Structure formats: structure tokens, C-alpha cells
Amino acid sequence: MAEIAHSAPTSTEGPPTKRLRVGTKSCAECRRRKVRCIFKDGWNVCDNCALHGVDCLPQAGAPKAAKRSIGAPVANRSDPTQTGTGHAENQVLHNRIAHLEGLMAQMIQNQTKDHNQFTVQPNVQSLRNYSLEDEDGDADPSNAPLPNLLRDLISMTPIPTGPQPIIAQPTTTLYIPRPPLPTFATLTSIISFSEKFYPIWPTCTFDIPHLQKLVSDQHDFNASILNNTMKSSDHITIAKFYLWIALCLTHYPRDRTQGLNLPGPKRELLRRYTQYASIALGAYADTKGSMDEIDCYSIQWKIYFDTGKPRRAWQILRQGVTAAIQLGLHKDNQKAAIWNPLWQNERQISCMLGLPSCTSNEHPGMRREDLCSTEAIPTVHYKLSLIAGDIINRDQCDVKDNNYAVTVQTDQDLEAVRVLLPPLSMDKDFVTMYKSVVVNVRFYTAQRVLHMPHMLQGVTSSQYRYSFDRAVDASRHSIQILADFRKACEEYMCEVLDFQLFSAAMVLLLAILSQKRKDAGLERDEEVSDWALIGTASRCLRHTVEKLDCSVAKQGADTLDTLAAACREQRRVLDKDFDVVIPYFGRVRLKFPPSFVSAAVNTTTQPPSPNPLASAAGLADGQTVLSGVIQSQNLEQQGSVYPSIEFSTQQSFNNTNFPSFDFSFGEELGVDWSQFAGGELGNMGYDCVQEFPCYSPAPHFNPTSA
């Protein structure tokens, strides 16, 4: 076939070459159309004749060419007797074919160029001089190439008659950047230290598809299992691996972390590992779910709980409960070991934070008749979870008329569980000791949370005296249990347990300041023992800070020491106001009168003088402000001399407004407690405010002593 002989000029080409036919000014057709006759080099047909598909003949003796459409056969074209120029017509036909092929090739070439318009042919300028009236009848729409091509395609495509297969929707491959991993030697060291915690951590399987479990005392084997898991292409499996490494790093002591060859700071690695898991779980949230997904939720909430983020753990547990229900775990007794920790821990945290639960005692799998275990500790956990559901319903209910009746009934149910509590012994193995400690602490925490809303009312009303005594009793037991546990296992990391220890000490401190104390007798002995427990809690928190670097323990110890120093009149260390907002607890302010501050400035290095009211400590009541009503109790003079502690909270002790605070970097309990003090955040709608003058002397104790 002929080469492309007709193409558009580029910006560098000059104007088309003009040449007249020999002996004439133009061909017969161009003369008839009254247009310029333009020839190109090497062509025997002018541009206009080639464009319109007519014979290009000289004027002299040329017969009139009839108009016809493109592609229509020329009548008697093969008969040279009618035109006398058969050879010329064949040449014109070949030229037309070559010209059309050139146009088609150019169209195909233009389609491969993105965002380029179709190139205009060089003879467009001359086409502007055309008249539409001159072209009437030249083009036949039935011969257009594109419609003909579509008709041919339709005729060749079979029409389906049977059922059509389901076409899979196109999916986009999810790409999540993987955080850096420790070396194999570092991974082995981390696993070898944390394997003692495996029996109390969520049970998981790794090395898909072999589903192998980690084995104690097999460090290299465990590391190889986790290393093989990283070869999986499943994002959920990889997320479970990262979460397990994060959980191990969480419990790795601070003094040993410096010897590890980690690919980055510990806190940054924990953030990136949990972030990877959150992205992967969020990407597959609309799927039917899997057991690997349940394992991820079981590990992730534990990480947030142990690092002092109970609200985030509560959110993860709710997602885990939903995923478990979708898989039917709540109806399968064989899956009770996976299902029960999810909904029971969600209940526990909801009760502790004053938040609603995603389940109720009427749901299948969490009703009283659904208890299938005969062991003591699982039975206690199950019943405490049901009691936590009753406390949550009481706190979330708007009707307060029968509130205390519900409290009394729930307290009776709680007392029925007391006889099932396992004995505490700190000389047993770690797993047995931990399980008994956790269930006992959970029992006394539920008792304290149950009676805390009525505890402050018990100061002024004998009707609620029972709740006051029960809350104080629960706090004493909690401090003693957690302090003994810290002595036996000082490297166990759980900032929520540290916060519960601090909260119990704060309840005892408020009880000392608000309770009527007599000069001698049993109540005076109780006050001395309570101050001793507060000192024990402070020392325990200080020791935890040295071992594990917990911000919750540090701020809790600082708060207890500051308030105790105010009660001991240590003017040399107290020269300004102290104001903190304790997460999920309340606001504590330490206010000093001008006379106290001036005395602190003039204090010499001699020991402070005894409290002039030491002999009469507790004979007078504190100054109470409850729900905005000030009850004067003849302590105006004492309040003007001694510092006072102002405690503010919601009367139900459900600080549901606190979770809406903008925690920096995801911190909750570990956030700086002083940054929320004052202003709008410090006064977030507290309906219960009490102010206690520090007139009752506290026995001196050294917070740093063992």
C-alpha cells in the first residue's frame, strides 16, 4: 500500500507548495468549485479532488465529473471508452485509498496521545471557503466509518440467553506501611522476659496457617513463630503480630529497655504498632470478621488498659464485643474463654468510668442462667460483671427517687459474692497470685464505686452513713491488696491499677477530713491507721515510678504527698496554691490563707511548731458546700488560719464530661493533671463541692521511706 502522503503540517513547516497544472491555472473540478487548486510535490491529484473523491482532470477537453459520495462506486469507471482516461482513473483510485489510509493511521496515532485534540489537516484553511450549499448530497450518512464499525461489532457479539455470572467488583489493594521491627535477637530478648505474663494475657495463635501457640521456655521457637507470621500477606494477621510485640514492650522494664537494640524510641514504636493495627482493623470493618480480628481486639484493649487509657480500651472492647456477636461467640460455650473476657472487661471499665455498656443482663451469653463455669474465680468474675451492669443502669438512669434502694439491693448481691472470693497469698506463683489479686481488687472497686455517690452525703446525713463506711472499708482493702502485690511483683505494668490505688487513698483522705473525730477511742485509732495506709500508697507509687516510669503513679504520689503536707502544716514546702483535675475522679484544690503564706515565708530552719488544735483534732466538723448550699459549722476561725482542701465532683461520681476533654497524644490518666485546672475546664459543671480546713494533724510519715 502507498505510504501516508497527506498529513498536517507542524509548527515548523512552511506553507503548502503551490503548483498549477501545466498549461492551465487549475483543474476542471477546482475551476467549477471556484477554489484554489493546490498540488503537493509528487502528487498528480490536487488536494480538493483528493478530499472530495473526484477525478482531477485538466480543463482542456475534460468532461464534467458527476458528484458522488465518498466510497460510492464510479459508474463505468472501468470502461475507458466513456472517459478516455481509464489509466488516470485507476491512479486516482489508488491515490484516494492511500489518502484514506493515511487519515486512519493519523487518527489512531492521535488517540494514543493523552489530552491532545485532533490535529487539523493542512487544507482546513481552504475548507473555510466552502459553501454548505455546494456540498449538498455529497456525503451519505450510511457510509460513515464509525456507525458501520459499531454495527459490525453488534452483529458479531453473541446475545447472552442463560443466567449471567456475578462479576466481582474491582477492589483496590490496601497498602499500609509497616513499622520497623526489632532484630531477631532483640525480639528473642523481649519474648523471653514477657513469657511469664502469657498465662494472664489473651490467648492467641500465630504462624498462620499452622495456628501455633507460644510455648514457655522456648524463646527461639517463639521468636521464629512470630517471625514467620510476618511473611503473611493478610493485614489482620500482621496487625496481631505488631500488637503482640507492643504488649510485650509495654511490660518491659525501663531499666532494661536501654539495653535493647530497638529501631526507635519505645513510646514511638508503641504508637506506630497500635496505629498500624487500628488502620488495618478499620479497613476491614465492613467484612464478616474473623477470629484473628477478635484476637487483635483482645490484645489491643489490654495495651490501652495497661498504659493508662481506659476510655480507649472501652472503645476497643465495644468493637470486640460487636465482632464476637457477629461470629456467634456469645452462643457458643466452646468459645467462652474468648467471649467472657470481652464483655466482662467492657462492663468493668464502663462501671469505673461512668459510661454506658454495650450489653445488658438480658442479652444471651450474659444472663444469670448462662453461667456454665463451676470454678470459683470465673464464677466471681461473671457475677461481678452482672453487678457492674446493675450499677451502670443505676448511674445512667434519670430517675433518682429509688436510687438508694437500688444501691442497697446491689450491695446485698455484692455481699453474696464475698464468700466466693479466693484467699490472698503473696507467696504463691505469679499466675495464681495475680488471678486472686485481680478478682479481689475488682470486688472492692465495685463496692467503692457503688457507694461513692452516697458517701459524701453520709457526712451530714445518718441515712447514708452505711455507704460512707462501706466506701471507706473498700478503699482500705484495695490499698492493702495492691501494696502487697507491688511488693511481690514490682515489674508488672498496669497504670489503671496504680490509678485505683491512688483513688482509694484519696477516698481515705477525704474521709479523714470530713469525718468527726474524737479525742480518743477507736475512731482516733482508725484515723492513725488510715494515715498509715495513705503513706503506704504513696511509697508504693513512688517505687513504681522508679521501676516502670509511670506518669500516673508519679502524679498520684505527688498529689498525696502535697495534700498530706498541707495537713501536717509543712509551710516550708507549701508556698502557693495547688490545683489539679484528676481524670474520672474530680478536682482538688489546696488553698492557703494569707496568714499561712506569710508564716511560710518567715519560717526558719527549726522544726514547725505543733498544731495548736492537735489536742482537739476532730472535735469540730468541716465546712461543707453541697450542691451550692453552704453549711456553716463554726470553723470560720480555723478556716482563716489553716489551709483548706476543696474537693469538687459530680454528685454521682460519674464524670462523663471528662472523656470529652482533648487529651494530648492520646493520653488519658497519664495526662498532666494540672493543665485542666482553672478556667472552663476546671469548672466543668460539678454539682458537689466540699471544702475541708486542714485542722486535723496527720501523723508524720516519710513518703520515700520503705
Residue 656: the pLDDT is: 44
Q: Are 464 and 505 spatial neighbours (Cβ–Cβ below 8 Å)?
A: no
Backbone φ and ψ of 629, nearest 5°: -105, 115
Candidate from 123-137, 471-485, 522-536, 631-645 with smallest mean pLDDT? 123-137
Of 47 and 479, which is predicted with more confidence? 479
Q: Name the nearest CA neighbour of 334 among 373, 289, 377.
A: 373
pLDDT (mean) for 296-308: 95
What confidence category does residue 549 fall into, taking pLDDT thresholds of 50, 70 and 90? Answer: confident
Cα 135 from Cα 557, distance rounded (Å): 99
> Could you tell me the residue ranges of all domains in the chain?
28-140, 482-605+614-693
Q: What is the CB neighbour count within 10 angstroms for residue 249?
A: 21
Per-residue pLDDT tens digits for 131-177: 444 444 455 666 666 666 666 655 555 555 555 554 444 444 567 88
What confidence category does residue 222 fall into, taking pLDDT thresholds of 50, 70 and 90? Answer: low
| One-letter amino acid of 26 | S
Per-residue pLDDT tens digits for 587-613: 888 887 765 555 544 544 444 444 433
**SS3 label, residue 52:** helix
618 pLDDT higher than 90: no
Q: Are 642 and 694 spatial neighbours (Cβ–Cβ below 8 Å)?
A: yes
Q: What proportion of the chain, given as a percentage, has pLDDT over 90?
A: 29
Candidate from 257-266, 322-331, 538-547, 634-643 with smallest mean pLDDT? 634-643
**SS3 label, residue 200:** helix
Q: Are 388 and 348 spatial neighbours (Cβ–Cβ below 8 Å)?
A: yes
Per-residue pLDDT tens digits for 504-513: 999 999 888 8
Per-residue pLDDT tens digits for 66-105: 444 444 444 444 444 444 445 566 776 777 787 777 777 7
Cα 20 from Cα 690, distance rounded (Å): 112
Of 371 and 325, which is predicted with more confidence? 325
Of 664 and 151, which is predicted with more confidence? 151
pTM: 0.69
Residue 138: the pLDDT is: 55
What confidence category does residue 617 fall into, taking pLDDT thresholds of 50, 70 and 90? Answer: very low
Residue 683: the pLDDT is: 55
Residue 385: the pLDDT is: 96
pLDDT (mean) for 553-571: 85
201 pLDDT higher than 70: yes
Q: What is the CB neighbour count within 10 angstroms for residue 259?
A: 9
